[in-house]
Structure 1
Amino acid sequence: MLRGCRHLRNLEPLSLCSQLHSLCIAECGRIPHMRPLAACTQLRHLDVRCIAASSGEDFAPLSACHNLRLLDASSSALASAPPLAPLRTLNLCNCVALSDLSPVATCVALRELRLSGCVALADLEGVDSLTSLVVLDISGCSSLLTVSRLRMCASLELLNMSGCGRLASPPPGLASLRQLYASRCAALESVGPLSGCSRLVHLELRGCRRLVSLTPLQRCRALRSLDLAGCQRQLEVQIPSWVNSVLM
């Protein structure tokens, strides 16, 4: 771990570490590229939040990674990156210039994708190919207009869409969903798509002031925890009787 090494300027010495398995260089000095890591053929876990991935070459050393966290990855860099088929976890939180996700379609083994704060994303193209995805965090993606593509993510169990102020409803067809966080979704008017979420256990709708009906939740027989703080008081009488933890 090299976290916080603010005087670090290049990774050349690591080219000798052919057996390196895990590397964290977050919060270090601004490093221009990670090409020396190409020699680290056993690298599986990488946190490089101090490197701006600006071209496909920056991703070349990562083809064997299982867990990857980046900062400032651009759409053009992702588009020209080599396939990252072994990747299980991808964290692109706060990549504010990222507007196109279609390249992630090649990450066929991906189980966890974190995109919180990617404010330029308007669509989730590419995510619909991630049929093994279990966890998706799109909180704070304030430009997202639709999440309908997620209907293809049949394995999704946890979705965080809090702070997505333009989304009018959750995605349909998520039969495996167990946890949904949709707080501060100012445009959210309906939870209709949740009627098919028979495994849903926890639902957070804090601050969704436009929501006027909870009727679709009558089909969510597994629901046990519901957060409606900051919502309209009239919703209280519509809460399913089997929900044992309620915040109003």
Structure 2
Amino acid sequence: MTNTLHRFGSAESFHDDYIIFAIPSKGINDEGCIPKLKEFLRLCAKHNPSNMGNGNRSSMAPEKGLNPLAHWNRRAVNDWETVIEGVIKAGTVSAVFSTKEDAEACMGEIVAADFGFSVNMSTSVQNAKEAAICCGIKRHSVEYTLGFNDPFDLLPDSQVLTLSTMCGHGMVSFNMAKKMIDMVREGRRSPEDAANTLVRFCPCGIYNSARAKRILEESVGKAKDSK
């Protein structure tokens, strides 16, 4: 089971969302795996990831002197080396890509490296199938999420769900996602700035800022069309 399965959207909406993650198994292949996990992330860093994380730390390294308002002006910095060096114990490491070409090129190098632990790709079923074919491997399994059940119509709209559920641990709240959509529509924040704000709340590094930027840009277009 992976928290990346909870991403909301149609199959087409994942054309710019590919997550590749590696997980060593406790008592089986976790002994001495830290150098391999770091090398896995170094391979990912070569292929233009939108985000990376080691399960405990994303690219947003802690800073001193922050206050509750810091997130509104703090810039997102892709410090991949901090993520890599932050791997100090066995656990999940991951990278997110916004293009099919980058994801497939990265997966190809990972297959060739043969690290010896489980590697998964989380995207649409078709995207994963095509990536496997491109890398010369056979997809051995598929894991699905059953979707969202909302009989009382209490969930927010699809754009809010798409932005919020990219953090599978629920650290990007519905209200924060809605606030960013409203601010972009009002011209108070650019889609890129809003996406950079949202990505900082996902500590494990699987939030896709490129996809978030696209969703925020689309929200502006839909708002104009409804007038």
Band the TM-score falls in, shorter-chain normalisation: under 0.3
Structure with the bigger percentage of strand: 1
Q: TM-score, normalised by structure 1?
A: 0.22
Larger radius of gyration: 1
Q: TM-score, normalised by structure 2?
A: 0.24
